[in-house]
Structure 1
Amino acid sequence: MGRRRLPLEKVLLGFLMQGPLHGYDLHRRVETELGNVWRMGMGYIYNTLKELERGGQVESVVLPQENRPPRKVYRITPAGQRSFLDWVRQPVDAVRDMRVEFPAKLYFFHLLDLDGVSRLISAQETACRRRLERLEKSAERYGPHDFDRLVFDFRRRQIEAVLDWLADCRETWAAWRAAAQKDNLREAQMEWKTDTPS
């Protein structure tokens, strides 16, 4: 079994799904678009790109520039596309990954206008409920005055908060979709009115 791929690799692949970029552009996009979730230095991003290239998920080409040093541009390969799409559609494994990895997945569903966000949210809710069930079973062995009861209660509340947040995500996403459909309908009506002869 290989090592677990870092979510940053998937984030870089997600940005490359929109088209080729060089390392600095990728760094800038991570900082500006996901800065509330991620903080990554340029060196880490370039090392990650090298690893992705060695793994066949991205390709690079060096482009000459007038009066400037050549620029290395990265583009995603079909293997990288499959890897990204497999990742973005799967729920995260651990509650701790809800803080960074899951919001990144939601972001890419929005950015790339991917279908299936409801399935992702449902799968994540199911994973959280299963985790909560396992946690509650293990807590049966704790007495009301055991220290571990405090730890259990903290973990239980974390999972419950995640479930509440996921319900909010579902509602927010549905509202965004409804607003986008209304906007598209208005645009289509406006186009029809301007294209229709008087």
Structure 2
Amino acid sequence: MTDEWQPHTETEGVETSPAPSRKGPERAAAEYALLGLIAQTGSGEIHGYDLSRSFAEGALGRIIRLESGMLYHYLKKLARDGYITSRIERQSGRPDRQVHTLTADGDALLRMWIAAPVRSTREIRLEFLVKLYLAQTVDPRHAVTLVTEQRSVMRTRAARLTEQLATPQPADADTSFGESVLRLRLTQTRAALDWLDTLPESRN
């Protein structure tokens, strides 16, 4: 057993850590990561292979390991929902390949998701990191706003946990365990705040 941190893995048939949008069905953070990678392309178009390589070799690969089966599943889902368009590119002497383009609805969805801070401390490790990476690459000003709002959310959460711990409770085993859980959550929230304070965006 090791304490070494490992990236979140998206595998075929398994979808974990869904990221809520402000409306519509919940979406995995990997879906927004795909939208962000497509948005970053200078030409506005990108092939599935290049997206897969971005996850395998780029900074996002340190956060999410996206198996190829899930990558293409998400691309089909995003195209079906109107957030990207996909077309076949014919190649002479080589297999045809799909080219993906971000739609106006996809761009709006991406920017709305990036702008919203996460609500729980455990989401810092996956969803917030994806948001921060995409905000830094799409528009650094968004990153400053995101970090500022995330710090506010974490401060509010820390204050609420501190208040809960200070509230007298009956002296029994369940109460003792509950207090231990609250202390753990408070420690994690304070650690998240300390980390947020180290980000360059916190000094702007």
Give ranges in structure 2 of 5+ residues lacking alignment: 1-22
2:7 matched to which residue of 1?
A: none
- Alignment check: 8 A CA contact 2:144 2:201 kept: no
CA distance in structure 1 between the aligned counterparts of 2:198 and 2:78, rounded to whole angstroms: 34
- Alignment check: 8 A CA contact 1:9 1:48 kept: yes
Normalized against structure 2, the TM-score is what?
Answer: 0.78
Alignment of 1:111-190 (within 5 A): 111-139=137-165, 140-142=167-169, 146-170=176-200
2:121 matched to which residue of 1?
A: 95
Give ranges in structure 1 of 5+ residues lacking alignment: 175-198
Task: Provide, for residues 55-76 of structure 1, a one-character-per-residue CA deviation record: whole Å limited to 9, x for no partner.
Answer: 1000011010011111111110
1:196 matched to which residue of 2?
A: none
2:51 matched to which residue of 1?
A: 26
CA distance in structure 2 between the aligned counterparts of 1:51 and 1:173, rounded to whole angstroms: 39
Q: Percent identity?
A: 34
When the two structures are aligned, how many residues end up with a matched partner? 174
CA distance in structure 2 between the aligned counterparts of 1:85 and 1:171, rounded to whole angstroms: 18
Amino acid of the structure 2 residue aligned with 1:5: R
CA distance in structure 1 between the aligned counterparts of 2:144 and 2:133, rounded to whole angstroms: 14
Normalized against structure 1, the TM-score is what?
Answer: 0.80
More helix by share: 1
Runs ≥4 residues deviating over 3 A: 141-145, 170-174
| Greater radius of gyration (CA) | 1
Deviation at 1:144, TM superposition (A): 9.8
Aligned-residue CA RMSD (Å): 2.0
Question: What is the aligned counterpart of 1:5 among 8, 22, 27?
Answer: 27
CA distance in structure 1 between the aligned counterparts of 2:177 and 2:139, rounded to whole angstroms: 46
1:17 matched to which residue of 2?
A: 39
- Alignment check: 8 A CA contact 1:24 1:42 kept: no
* C-alpha spacing 1:112/1:128, structure 2 compared with 1 (3 Å): same
